[in-house]
Chain A
């Protein structure tokens, strides 16, 4: 062949690694980038804000200063017992974000375990696990949460972590949100495992006597990681929203520990007279959930382009 120097292939961009490709696809998703930026700001707000206000200040009641509208000294106003709302949104943000992350973690661990076991082993284990999943899905999550919040409420004493005291109900809320929201992920993971376990690389691993847990966690799981990451991300948004729902209904984290959700408890009595009670924490919840959903959507496009958003 003559003129080898000018093959059309030379003009192609060099092949990208999978990671570069994902980043490229994620970066194209403008709203996802916005979501990431917003989340960084929210984390700075919640954790950085702690340098300006002490937690004791956020929990200090002052009945002479009840329901004050936003003003100098209390830029977000004060609540029904005179606590500063700005300081409470900062400390509440920490708890809400922590609840979101840890509850999503619990959800993901349960969902992956149930899905992986059911999908890999099949048979009796599969039908038992899937019946339980089905049963859990037959009672809408909020109802289960309310009943469980009542059931476990008040049984765990306050805990002290790193010199700070939290209401034990934080742990209860994290657990029950995790325990009531893993079912969809379990079904996704099960379906992934059902199709992946028939692949040659799994058969090969089995043929050379790889232990089962290693096949499950080192061979199959990494191949179904994309939907798990997406689901876990959206799970954080879901958990923050869910915490807000039950706290709004007065069954969430107990005061004085603040969360964005429990700051809304009883706020509907003050829709007219003190809108600052619910607008600020409400906006923060919306912003966080929205940003995480954007990121989740971007991740879905980047990691798992075949599955489209529903």
Chain B
């Protein structure tokens, strides 16, 4: 499989009255065609921002892309003009957002909101676009698509709206779908349905997916590979099984420990991570996770660990940014 998108050393900052927010601090990753990559981390760790920057959706100012590149089909997306970017958005790369209740325009019909992508990007006329929109609605599991084109967002439930958002995102057959916590705002049963729908559509359409979430539980059945982010850094990257079975960063370890599991005793309290995410107004020296880390060494306060292959099985691309071997607690 060829490389679809290669992000290198991406750095993003926000200039706010209180100072500079170091949101993303030099992250690099690759996604292959048809691959599903999950990006996991707490709110504010820079996972959404790094994805939105690729589509030019960060308001500048206050935002600033301080460095790096995001090469897609031989072009650096970060260098594209506004008009060039318009042709990438929706057609090559499209996005589904967290809040289905507010992500759709309340005063335009669902039909209009689906067809406008089709007429803009694929040059369809109104009738063709409407036919296609109705098919798309049925494809994402909304029955009676033709009739529902004239409805407004408030006439749909949250889960239904997220289906509409997915229909919009997939309307022009993108090669990459970025899903920014698409299930977080939904009921648990609906969450599973949406994940199921995305898996089914991936099988049909073969697009690559970047799935942003703070919930490691969702990731397991969906992703091929996982990136864990903390305070604007990638702290661990691995194939999904390897990450679950053999986490190598203290933060990942703590995240997994915080997951409720059916095979544990019910009266056991869920583990939580002590402390709070760091203040991003200060670019930390050393490891950003050090203040909350149970393995912290003196070195962690001064040297920022680099993402490097770890463990005995270097070959499978399991990388972590940590000075400690979390199995032994000894320095690496």
Contact = CB atoms under 8 A, between A and B. Distances in A.
Interface of A: 1-3, 6-9, 11-12, 28
Interface stretch (B88-96, B148-156, B274-282): B274-282
Contacts of B276: 9
A11 B282 contact: yes
Interface in B273-332: 275-276, 278-279, 282, 284, 290-291, 294, 296-298, 301
B190 to A, nearest CB: 30
Contacts of B17: 28
Nearest to A11: B282
Q: How large is the interface on B (under 10, 10 to 19, 20 to 34, 35 or more residues)?
A: 10 to 19
A8 B291 contact: yes
Contact of B298 (A3, A7, A8, A9): A3
A306 to B, nearest CB: 17
B290 A3 contact: yes
A6 B282 CA distance: 13
A2 B17 CA distance: 34
B301 A8 contact: no
Contacts of B290: 3
Interface of B: 17, 275-276, 278-279, 282, 284, 290-291, 294, 296-298, 301
A206 to B, nearest CB: 34
B171 to A, nearest CB: 35
A241 B279 CA distance: 48
A6 B301 contact: yes
A26 to B, nearest CB: 14
Contacts of A8: 278-279, 282, 284, 291
7 contacts: A2-B296, A3-B298, A7-B291, A8-B278, A9-B276, A11-B282, A12-B279
Contacts of A1: 294, 296
B253 to A, nearest CB: 16
B24 to A, nearest CB: 18
Contacts of A6: 291, 301
A2 B298 contact: yes
Contacts of B298: 2-3
B291 A11 contact: no
Contacts of B294: 1
Nearest to A24: B17
- Per CB-CB distance, the 10 closest pairs between chain A and chain B, nearest first, are A8-B278, A7-B291, A8-B291, A3-B301, A2-B296, A8-B279, A11-B282, A12-B279, A6-B301, A8-B284
A2 B276 CA distance: 17
A1 B297 CA distance: 9
Interface centre among B290, B296, B298 (most CB of A within 10 A): B290
Contacts of B291: 6-9
Contacts of A11: 279, 282
A102 B242 CA distance: 75
Nearest to A1: B296
